Amino acid sequence: MRRPFWIVLLAAAAFALIVLTRLPAGWVVPAGGGAGFTCASVDGSVWSGACSGIAVQRVVLGDLTWDLKPAQLLAGALAAHVTLAHGPIGIRGDVALGFGHRLTLRNLIADLPVDHRVLPQVPRDLSGSLHVDLALAHIEKGAVTELQGRLEAHDLIDRHGRATPLGSYALTFPGGSLTGRLQDLGGPLAVSGTVRLTPGGGYAVDGRVAVRPGAPPELVNNLLYLGSPDAQGRRPFSMAGTF
């Protein structure tokens, strides 16, 4: 009596696996979207599919494709390799969502504009481009708990009134710490310092800045408010806030 039972159980499991692997993505991710996003069309399966013309808060970001990693389900995580292309944002990398709202990013490469419409946290008058190269990032309940990689901001311009070039900068997190090294990549300002990520999604910046020859008068005047310079002409600055 036990043998037929196990045969039926294995057959049912095999049937369920076949159904899941061939389940159309449109049955789970409707073109109408939800939770603040929409898709112009949905193709493929749940395991390997595409959301073309994905838009978040009515901002079209491009075409999203994914390939789920079934083996990660055994570890209690929903993992996939994702790609976002053909829009203002380019992203590719591995994403895993585990218990306790734990999000893990690996080998993530992203290019996006410094634009308030794409990144609401960015000031409206600031423009430029952002390149992200993360080997690893752990995020729990909205707060970064581990970070290893590099972020670069290029050709920043302050467009409040007269367009003022601000230069390019890099922020490097070596891993094992939530403190990154901040440095300029050329431009009107010579900058060096640290950025420390704090609990609750906060940050604290400490550094020194000096103007280079030919810097716009607006930047020269603004730096006067930072206090007296040291022997190398650098002035201390610090700031803190939340993302």
C-alpha–C-alpha distance, residues 38 and 53, integer Å: 8
Mean pLDDT for 110-116 is: 92
Q: Which helix (H) or strand (E) holds 17?
A: helix 2-22
Angle subtended at Cα 105 by Cα 168 and Cα 74, rounded to the nearest 5 degrees: 175
Percent of the chain clearing pLDDT 70 (strictly above):
84
Pick the more confident residue, 98 or 178: 178
Neighbours of 84 (CB within 10 A): 21
What span, in angstroms and rounded, lies between the C-alpha atoms of 1 and 208? 79
Burial of 83 (0-12, 13-18, 19+ CB in 10 A): middle
pLDDT digits (tens, 9 = 90+) for 89-111: 999 999 998 877 789 999 999 99
pLDDT at 2 > cutoff 50: no
Q: What is the DSSP string of 190-233?
A: EEEEEEEEETTTEEEEEEEEEEPTT--HHHHHHHGGG----TTS
Partnered with residue 21 across adjacent β-strands are none
pLDDT digits (tens, 9 = 90+) for 127-173: 999 999 999 999 888 788 999 999 999 999 998 878 899 999 999 99
Is 9's pLDDT higher than 60? Answer: no
Q: What is the DSSP letter of 68?
A: E
Q: Which residues are bridge partners to 105 per DSSP? A: 95, 137
Q: How far apart are CA 207 and CA 26, in angstroms?
A: 50
Question: Which residue is associated with the tokens 């440095």?
Answer: 183
pLDDT in tens, 60-95: 889 999 888 877 776 778 888 999 999 899 999 999
* Most confident of the ranges 49-53, 62-66, 189-193: 189-193
Residue 174: phi and psi, rounded to 5, are -75, -15
Does residue 115 register a pLDDT over 70? yes
Look at residue 224 and tell me whether its pLDDT is greater than 90: no
Measured CA to CA, the distance from residue 87 to residue 80 in angstroms comes to: 21
3-state secondary structure of 143: strand
Q: To the nearest whole percent, how much of the chain has pLDDT over 90?
A: 43
Cα 109 from Cα 95, distance rounded (Å): 12
**Whole-prediction pTM:** 0.82
What is the structure's pLDDT at 37?
Answer: 77
The CB-side HSE value for 150 (13 A sphere, CA atoms) comes to 7
> Would you report the helix, strand and coil content of the chain in percent, each value rounded to 5?
20, 55, 30
Q: Among 3-12, 127-136, 209-218, 222-231, where is mean pLDDT lowest?
A: 3-12
Is a pLDDT exceeding 70 seen at residue 15? no
Residue whose structure tokens are 């990660």: 72
pLDDT, the chain, mean: 84
The Cα–Cα gap between 128 and 112 comes to 9
Rounded to an integer, what distance in angstroms lies between the CA atom of residue 189 and that of residue 113? 21
* Mean per-residue pLDDT, 200-215: 91
pLDDT of amino acid 152: 97
